[in-house]
Amino acid sequence: MIRKLATVVLACVAVGSMNASADQLDTVIQRGTLNCGVVLDFPPMGYFNEDNEPAGFDVDYCNDLAEVLGVDVNVLNLTWGDRIPSLIAGKTDVVIGSTSDTLERAKSVGFTYPYFVFKFQVIAGKDKNIQSFDDLKNLKVGAALGTTYETEYLAYAEKKGWGTDNYTAFKSENDAYLGLYQGKVDAIISTNTNIATKLQSEEFAGFEAGPFVPNYDDVVGLIAKRSETAWINYLNLFLVRQIRDGNMNEAYNKHFGSDAPADLIQSLRDNK
Amino acid sequence: MEYEFHWNVVFQTMPELLNGAFVTLHVSVLAMLLGIVIAILLAIAKMNNSKPFCYVATVWVEIARNTPALFQIYMAYFGLGAFGIHLSPYVAVLSALVFINAGYLTETFRGGFQSIPSTQYSASKSLGMTSIQVYRYIILPQMLRRIYHPMTNQFVWSILMSSLGILVGMSELSGTTQRLQSLSFRTLEFFIVAAVMYFVITKLVLISSSLLSRRLFKGEV
């Protein structure tokens, strides 16, 4: 049995090594299509618009990138958990999907410079009256599985000795909001941008944005295969130019309804 | 080769993975046991002449067999949630699996029951046994022996389908794997290890049920 398993694993490895790396930048240009992965249940970064087409800040970045490369764009809808497998399997060339740039993850995948900074925040029913993050202690809390805010919440809960009995993981961002809406959990952790978007909808009239996750800026980058350094270099320059050429501010304006805050621009210019 | 495997990340989190594997085993064994009990009742109901029982059993079987497990687990969690009934992820997955197991096994059991000649029933009755005694001592033992293999198939299916628990945030083997891989993005390594663990769990279950069957049926399966 072990021999059989070994054969299967070896076969996978062999298939993987066959498409030995032509440089990704060349591959994309020669192919004439950029396969750009975006998480489309994370408004306003990625979502489906009324015409059921991909839209959002990240989708605009995909379009901008394809334009400067001179290729067509193919936006692929990913879940949080699909981001890395899609890169490794070669389904995507780059994932513009609000990926937090932890050093642990950077051992597995190549990160660009930061392209956005989020705050993690609590959203809960107004009746819960949450003043500080510590008020979550005796409440049922949820978050989307495999996100950095899940990790941050669990780390905080462990530090405070809250345990994980009150915690529920949801498969996706949408499911987390559905769970909150149905009352399965009292509060969820999400990003400030997504919460602001959700609070504009009628369904969430009875909810309010609560405290931020203490001491944490969620700095996110684009990700690509770790080995594709030339491609990552190109992406880095692309991000620099997005700010310098004003595309970043334009996309921000379109999706957040105001100019990009000066401190956000500055922290991106400082790469932190 | 393009991809470098980093196995140490996986081994560091082994206790959590094993914990997840235990939950998987736990929920599927419980779902199987409850499913068997309900399926026997449903099978008897389905063969019964009384209309209401037969009707309930038929509806149960038809829904369980003709809709995806994914849909049923989702309904048990979010569907019931819409009506204010909040099951924990564990209970939601357990009840969905019991529902499906019972549905499938009912048909298996009905086949098993019908393979026992009805003359045995009349013969036992004429010896003065009650209906319950006839089932308990004559029909069920023979029937269980005949349907042993289809039943273990269902068991394996139940273990593998519990991986859909990830849909509703259950921390079974798949959910734990998904969460741990998101910390390091060592997706392939974690999924390979999880697959091996599923393999081991199903093998363990098959071996122990085969040992059990040897005891119960004196080896004549």
Whether B95 is covered by a domain: the verdict is yes
Flag if A21 and B169 touch (Cβ within 8 Å): no
| Cβ contact B169–A109 (<8 Å) | no
Interface predicted TM-score (ipTM) of this complex, two decimals: 0.71
B187 pLDDT above the threshold of 90: no
Return the residue in B173, B182, B203 with the most chain A beta carbons within 10 A, the one to mutate for interface testing. Answer: B182
Give B216's pLDDT tier (boundaries 50, 70, 90).
Answer: confident
Percent above pLDDT 70 for chain A: 92
Q: How many separate domains does chain A show?
A: 2
Alpha helix positions (H), B84-172: 89-114, 118-126, 131-133, 140-146, 148-161
pLDDT at A5: 60
- Tell me, yes or no, whether B127 lies in a domain: no
- Domain end among A175, A197, A212: A212
Structural domain total, chain B? 1
Domain for residue A13, yes or no? no
CB contacts of B185 in chain A (<8 Å) are: 84, 104-105, 107-109
Residues A130 and A199 in one domain: yes
Inside any domain, residue B144: no
**B191: number of Cβ within 10 Å:** 16
CB pairs A-B closer than 8 Å: 87
> Does A168 map to a domain?
yes
Question: Is residue B140 assigned to a domain?
Answer: no
- Tens of pLDDT, residue by residue over B65-82, are 999 999 999 999 999 988
Q: Whole domain around residue B178: which residue ranges?
A: 9-117+149-216
Cβ within 8 Å, pair A170-B86: no
Q: In terms of residue numbers, what domain contains A148?
A: 120-212
Q: Do B179 and A17 touch (CB under 8 A)?
A: no
- pLDDT, tens digit, 9 for 90 and up, residues B26-64: 999 999 999 999 999 999 898 877 888 899 999 999 999
**What's the pLDDT at B220?**
58
What value does the mean pLDDT take over residues A140-159? 92
Grade residue A69 by pLDDT with cuts at 50, 70 and 90.
very high
Measured between CB atoms, does A10 come within 8 Å of chain B?
no
Do residues A185 and A71 share a domain? no
User: pTM to 2 decimals?
Assistant: 0.80
Q: Measuring CA to CA, which residue among A170, A220, A219, A212 is closest to residue A195?
A: A212
pLDDT at residue number B1: 47
Give the model's pLDDT for residue B200.
Answer: 96
Chain-wide mean pLDDT for chain A?
90
Is residue A131 located within the same domain as residue A204?
yes
Enumerate the residues of chain A whose CB falls inside 8 A of the CB of residue B182: 80-81, 145-147, 150-151
> Phi, psi at residue B170, to the nearest 5°?
-80, 140
Evaluate whether residue A21 is within a structural domain: no
pLDDT tens digits, residue range A155-210? Answer: 999 999 998 889 999 988 999 999 999 999 999 999 998 999 899 888 899 999 99
CA atoms within 13 A on the CB side of A94: 32
Angle formed at CA B75 by CA B70 and CA B80, multiple of 5 degrees: 160
Claim to verify: residue A205 and residue A232 sit in the same structural domain: no
Q: What pLDDT was estimated at residue A14?
A: 54
